[in-house]
Structure 1
């Protein structure tokens, strides 16, 4: 029982070096790809050519739907790869542990934890991991290479028939390029041992094929007293052929990372400034053995065919994933003088197979123009070994649970998009999902249990206009999130009823989008989202259980102003009222449900040899307990990017994170923990600090 957990094999450095050399040697080719809609319908292609187009009128089914192009993504400084999602109005991406771990996500008053109610895909391949050893829906985007992102298509709310599991708050599909105009290398240096290198290139292979290759290496110790020693290696190969009318591609992705993490610490310790006579500050850790190792390898493919009368697309994917994660959030509550800590290890090993097939076809409309019908099939199976251990300094002292899980989710959907008149269009959809799981524990001879659940989800969107360059949207739909399979049967915690495999959500929205002038676009959305049960992660049991029902309602206001080709301004504000919808003496506030979010981004381009951008983010306070007796503090941060175009093929950029050096917290929780010398656990605020003012210097060379 004292054997350390073994790590998966690591990607070797000499292999990375060889791929880097290959990337630099690739010849340049023009990027002729067009951006196409995420919607599973036949729509005109939209060529994303500038940084400030916004979302054109007539291109979406909701005021809260949109597309973010590569120029917009390049305008902002990114501390983490997953921050590409912060371009989605109202989305917040933070971290409560080491930088190699999946981020914390917040949207529409929902603490999405590591991704529980927001569906994320990269080139159509799902990133969310159900029945995960650490958190259901775990969404680790650290394998993302931002320089390769062509666009991000996003939707909020459960209004689209093509969106299934985890898409109650919304969904995003990150689309990679298959061609780049010129091979390039990026090298970035910063304090605390920050080093990042990226190399990418693409070339024709014969007459019909095109190859794109990219590699990334990242080292970072961070500002922590115990260096996190993040070592991240990443590679991508994509082979594509054909055109936007008919073509195919296949991609191979490999990612590997390990790190030591500084997790959140109690506020009472920071206020005291010392622990047992030793100084203790914001960047210290209570357990320097916390950390993790993870790897992700996938192969995926896509085939499509489009013409004036219809479109067919097939996507498939296979994924191998591993995570060994060591955490200690309560420190010594179970020690009782034994010397053991509260550290625990979570191991997730899985293989995933899945795919999506849809067919859209044009029919004569009953009123005005042509209608589009779409049918689609989605299939995914996860074979998982999820384990939970008690550990001390990464040495196993007890096995809490060790389960084999096989779960399958099948979704069938149909959608009709009909323009009835020049000012009225409806999008009606229906999807049926069937969830099945088999859970078997390795700790007993019990044969385990099986669970199954199904969900019927109707959807409807009404689009009115445009009148006076303004569209009105009315949206309603039923969605769902799956639950951890281990919590759906008799092996779940004895203190709670088993959860259903699928939990229903219901969303409604009224919004408008207006092209006020050629330079200014604005959109407003009033929305409501209800869950039959919130997800509750139970760490001691290693599972996720259904919690109390809830309702959230709010308003979002997004503005995009581009008075010239050299200046652009985006301003997004979101307000939410999150509450439990049942009566309970615990209180009606939903812990960690952020109520106010603001993003402002300004970009100046090509003022002589210079370009610059400035971003400002506001995260308002939130209840940390259901009775609202403890609240988080607001977080205000600003980032700056200054770029000098040294020559035709060389750029040098300076990024400054947390420009004003504010003492921010990336995350704040309220729970009980026990420090050395304390007689009993203490309810307290626990915080994970954001980085202090930090600079990073980047050089990009194109070949």
Structure 2
């Protein structure tokens, strides 16, 4: 079986190279927004022949059967459209598009394998994000919840998953992974607080395990944040709000933006006490430096360095029964000595080398130094009735990786073919990953676990896009090899344990685009999330690399020029679920699950300055093999929806009114405990005149009491004779008013 997979993989790589053919006459070109700003997903069409292409990440396109006198249409959302008249054929075109106000007429439904990326692009351009939490909310159907003090990674919900901190959504920034394998707090932990929102230019996302270049944790989907290659203007801004909340941000060009060498610096500082009775004292500092240049006409180089550090206090999860009895208030605490600190330093390099007019190689590498130290108390006095159950989770990590991908386009008879083949590795070296029993963050009572871990992931993938008329076929294969190495410093006999496993992930997508207003797609594939190395060593998991098998059937429709409607029905089977374990504050493997549901949404430009949008998502999640009535997946969201109105007027006024709704969901397997849903409405009004701007934001304008994150946990309070299982929650932010002012220059 293994030999067959390797044979298929090699055929995917070699066949397109051996059959490379480009019948003339061919017209090639590059589309950009200026020096160093190559534009991908630009729709280029020959009006005479109907042949079309969309630019790749190097900004290049290829059109067959061109001749002098042909007219080419160039379309990209957020840029003025162009018509280029060919005086001759063969000389590469260099096309520069000028930015324009958002007009949904510009949106063309093309044959992209992942056309839903345009939804996030519309949302980003219409309503830019104001904080790191809002970045993930730009992904339709993805919900987030602040968790334990604002310094800790948010809890995620998507497609019927309580993803905890990232177990089933692969998150990256400029393709550098954010999810942490074998993390001290939980598998897949993804902390995005090192991202400065103003530096993000695009959000690339996909739902389901259908993308060959996305590996570990890509089961429910993936999100990749892409930072700006250059900034158009310098920026200085300050934000102040209730609860002693302050934020300062600055972006500064270090080199001219119109040269072949460009660089900018971004800095951010955030402080807040939050609404809690015990102040959070959150303090976070970020800086980000990015250089982009062209060593030669065939090369493009990007270098990035960033640093993030944060510390905070936390009130933790509180039991519903303590609030109802009046023992504590809505924003109170049982143990207010929780909290922690974390930091991450990153170096990244991306090199793109143009081989010829139809192929290029992109190589990326990253190196991250990461520290994490967290104090939590999930069960209060359940285990230790005298000192309490506070725990400390800590680790130090060195994360490194390299990936190189070959891209090519060619023509085989009537078929247009796009092709990618890539390979790479990721290594996590984790020192002193520990779990200790503590008191008041000052006293260590007992060492429960401490170990060193090295986890290696080598991978290769290949996929092809075969275009024939209105059809696109996209077969793909990904191969991942894992090595898990554990040195346990507590459990005897001491020694190093190593484990190995391989995962093959085939995928096949079919796209049918009969017009530039309508598209249908059927996607299918296998993905996976790896197990924690400690779980692998213990033998608790049913598999080292549990698989996910899914399919999507959906459509994109533009019934009128300024309205886009998206629909999708989906199913996802998971070989092994992750479940939350309260006493250790981690996730552990469970049994098989099946999820099915649908996503629907629309984007509508009602007037030149008024936009409306909404997304509705439903998921039916069940454990496989469990008795009926006891097969619910705890905390799996069933109904969710987001939407709102956005104003962007040429007079300088702008504003948004948005809601997010999550319905009630079961908190345990038999549904006897319910995690209550909520509806929250946020408002922002802003005005800009010349370089100066001001924005007034009001979160939770109706001042609702709501539970942002919830768990069904067995705990014991100091005054209770026996344990009680009920809802424990982090209270959501009350009405929160803040003002942001700044200027661009």
TM-score, L = length of structure 2: 0.85
Alignment of 1:368-447 (within 5 A): 368=415, 370-385=416-431, 386-394=433-441, 395-420=443-468, 422-443=469-490, 444=492, 446-447=494-495
- Runs (5+) with no aligned partner, structure 1: 1-28, 275-279
1:237 aligned to 289, 295, 301, which one?
Answer: 289
Please name the residue that 2:163 is paired with.
112
Distance of aligned partners of 1:439 and 1:407 in 2 relative to their CA distance in 1, 3 Å threshold: same
Q: CA deviation at 1:74?
A: 6.6
Are the equivalent residues in 2 in contact too, given 1:487–1:499 (CA < 8 A)?
no
Task: Judge which range, 614-623 or 41-50, deviates more.
Answer: 41-50
Distance of aligned partners of 1:690 and 1:590 in 2 relative to their CA distance in 1, 3 Å threshold: same
Give me the whole-angstrom Cα distance separating, in 1, the residues matched to 2:582 and 2:143.
24
Q: CA deviation at 1:360?
A: 1.2
Cα shift readout 1:185-241 (whole Å, capped 9, x = no counterpart): 110000111010001111327964211101101110001110000010100111110
Are the equivalent residues in 1 in contact too, given 2:39–2:58 (CA < 8 A)?
no
Q: CA deviation at 1:628?
A: 1.0
Question: What is the number of equivalent residue pairs in this alignment?
Answer: 659
Give me the whole-angstrom Cα distance separating, in 1, the residues matched to 2:546 and 2:632.
20
Please name the residue that 1:691 is paired with.
733
Cα shift readout 1:516-548 (whole Å, capped 9, x = no counterpart): 111001110000011001023446568653211
1:139 aligned to 186, 190, 202, which one?
Answer: 190
Task: Judge which range, 531-540 or 226-235, deviates more.
Answer: 531-540
Distance of aligned partners of 1:539 and 1:130 in 2 relative to their CA distance in 1, 3 Å threshold: farther
Alignment of 1:65-464 (within 5 A): 65-66=117-118, 68-69=120-121, 72=124, 75=127, 78=130, 80-204=131-255, 208-242=260-294, 246-274=299-327, 280-306=328-354, 308-336=357-385, 339-368=386-415, 370-385=416-431, 386-394=433-441, 395-420=443-468, 422-443=469-490, 444=492, 446-464=494-512
Q: CA deviation at 1:285?
A: 1.1
Cα shift readout 1:544-588 (whole Å, capped 9, x = no counterpart): 532110010011111011133311111111111111121248811
Are the equivalent residues in 2 in contact too, given 1:484–1:544 (CA < 8 A)?
no
2:112 aligned to 50, 55, 60, which one?
Answer: 60
TM-score, L = length of structure 1: 0.90
Are the equivalent residues in 1 in contact too, given 2:254–2:265 (CA < 8 A)?
no
Please name the residue that 2:608 is paired with.
565
Distance of aligned partners of 1:601 and 1:335 in 2 relative to their CA distance in 1, 3 Å threshold: same
Q: CA deviation at 1:629?
A: 1.1
Task: Judge which range, 201-210 or 340-349, deviates more.
Answer: 201-210
Are the equivalent residues in 2 in contact too, given 1:41–1:373 (CA < 8 A)?
no
Distance of aligned partners of 1:453 and 1:417 in 2 relative to their CA distance in 1, 3 Å threshold: same
Are the equivalent residues in 2 in contact too, given 1:237–1:252 (CA < 8 A)?
yes
1:659 corresponds to 2:701: yes
Please name the residue that 1:505 is paired with.
548
Distance of aligned partners of 1:537 and 1:348 in 2 relative to their CA distance in 1, 3 Å threshold: farther
| Dislocated runs of 4+, deviation >6 Å | 29-32, 38-43
Distance of aligned partners of 1:378 and 1:66 in 2 relative to their CA distance in 1, 3 Å threshold: farther
- Find the residue that maps to 1:515 and give its secondary structure: strand
Q: CA deviation at 1:406?
A: 0.3
Give me the whole-angstrom Cα distance separating, in 2, the residues matched to 1:563 and 1:34.
31
Task: Please say which structure displays the higher CA radius of gyration.
Answer: 2
Give me the whole-angstrom Cα distance separating, in 2, the residues matched to 1:321 and 1:627.
39
Distance of aligned partners of 1:189 and 1:268 in 2 relative to their CA distance in 1, 3 Å threshold: same
1:668 aligned to 688, 710, 713, which one?
Answer: 710
Give me the whole-angstrom Cα distance separating, in 1, the residues matched to 2:509 and 2:580.
33
Q: CA deviation at 1:477?
A: 0.2
Are the equivalent residues in 2 in contact too, given 1:41–1:372 (CA < 8 A)?
no
Are the equivalent residues in 2 in contact too, given 1:40–1:358 (CA < 8 A)?
no
Please name the residue that 2:576 is paired with.
533
Please name the residue that 2:40 is paired with.
36
1:617 corresponds to 2:660: yes
Cα shift readout 1:351-380 (whole Å, capped 9, x = no counterpart): 011011100112223434x20121011310
- Runs (5+) with no aligned partner, structure 2: 1-32, 42-54, 62-74, 80-100
Distance of aligned partners of 1:471 and 1:607 in 2 relative to their CA distance in 1, 3 Å threshold: same
Are the equivalent residues in 2 in contact too, given 1:40–1:360 (CA < 8 A)?
no
Give me the whole-angstrom Cα distance separating, in 2, the residues matched to 1:89 and 1:263.
29
Distance of aligned partners of 1:413 and 1:514 in 2 relative to their CA distance in 1, 3 Å threshold: same
- Find the residue that maps to 1:489 and give its secondary structure: helix
Are the equivalent residues in 1 in contact too, given 2:284–2:311 (CA < 8 A)?
yes
Are the equivalent residues in 2 in contact too, given 1:319–1:353 (CA < 8 A)?
yes
Distance of aligned partners of 1:620 and 1:152 in 2 relative to their CA distance in 1, 3 Å threshold: same
Cα shift readout 1:377-403 (whole Å, capped 9, x = no counterpart): 131000012110000111211110101
Please name the residue that 2:49 is paired with.
none
Please name the residue that 2:89 is paired with.
none
Are the equivalent residues in 1 in contact too, given 2:109–2:516 (CA < 8 A)?
no
- Find the residue that maps to 1:69 and give its secondary structure: helix
Q: CA deviation at 1:46?
A: 4.8
